[in-house]
Amino acid sequence: MSSFSAPSSAAAAATAPSLPSPSPLPSSQADSQAEEARPYCDTMPPPRPVAPAASAAIPANPKVSARKPAVSPRQKFRLAPGFGLMDWVRLKAASPDLAQRGGASPSRPVPRSELAEHGSQFDGWIALRGVVYNVSAYLPYHPGGAKVMLPTLGGDATAEFDKFHRWVAIEGLVGVLRVGVLVED
Ligand code: HEM
């Protein structure tokens, strides 16, 4: 039989060096109150008072505040109401034949001479990376405006397209406008 006996909790409290005075609350409640009052652990320094924002101390510069707000390069061209990206997405979903293929294959060969015949705003085709698209329906939705695209209608617009936005996903945006594949006459 062992001679060792665990000290009772009262005895342990009496012999402990200098523990904080016991709380009259049940231990779980006392713990939660202590948490609220002292959210940091004992090893952390107390929170420092927050200094006022540096900007608050700096008087407004009249030259700067008098300037006009900077115009985002994204706002170079303002689309008409109802011609935003989501409107284009809705139109695509609702229209069975925006490219006006009339049942022809989207992979049919389109000779360069045929492409050249479609150079007007309401019957405008362009070639991009070897694929021909009927972009008439897209013109009012083009974020860069219709005007900039007009001179490219009826021809290969790949160079101009890449000049402004080579990263734009052509198929994702105007894949439904595909007429065919550009071929030489
Ligand atoms: C079907 C073909 C095309 C599609 C799907 C298309 C799509 C787009 C998109 C999504 C933007 C916005 C880009 C952005 O905010 O970063 C844009 C802007 C623009 N696009 Fe196109 N585009 C097409 C053809 C063209 C062509 C052929 C030209 C030039 C002749 C052109 C000239 C521009 C210009 C100048 C902007 C404005 C760029 C800016 O504000 O920085 N786009 N286009």
Residue 147 Cβ inside 6 Å of ligand 1? The answer reads no
Is any atom of ligand 1 closer than 6 Å to the C-beta of 173? yes
- The 10 Å Cβ neighbour count of residue 156 is 17
Give the helix ranges, DSSP H, for 76-169.
85-94, 112-116, 158-165
Q: How far apart are CA 148 and CA 40, in angstroms?
A: 62
pTM over 0.95? The answer is no
- What is the CB-side half-sphere exposure of residue 16 using CA atoms within 13 A? 12
pLDDT tier at 76, thresholds 50, 70, 90: confident
Binned at pLDDT 50, 70 and 90, residue 65 comes out as low
Give the C-alpha separation, 175 to 133, whole Å.
8
The per-residue pLDDT for 122 is 97
Confidence of residue 112 (pLDDT cuts 50, 70, 90): very high
How far is ligand 1, taken at its centre, from the CA of residue 11, in Å? Answer: 83
The answer to whether the CB of 74 is under 6 A from ligand 1 is: yes
CA of 149 to the centre of ligand 1 (A): 8
Closest to 119 (Cα-Cα) out of 79, 153, 70: 153
DSSP string, 126-164: EEETTEEEE-TTTGGG-TT-SGGGGGGTTEE-HHHHHHH
CA distance 149 to 139: 8
Residue with tokens 């022809």: 104
> Residue 9 belongs to what H/E stretch?
helix 9-15
State the DSSP code for 117: T
On the question of pLDDT at 62 being above 80, the answer is: no
Report the percentage of the chain scoring pLDDT > 90: 58
- Average pLDDT taken over every residue of the chain: 79
Cα(58) to ligand 1 centroid in Å equals 42
Predicted local distance difference test score (pLDDT) of residue 75? 58
Rounded to the nearest 5°, which phi and psi values hold at 165?
A: -165, 70
Domains of the chain: 99-183 (3.10.120.10)
**Average confidence (pLDDT) over 21-41:** 47
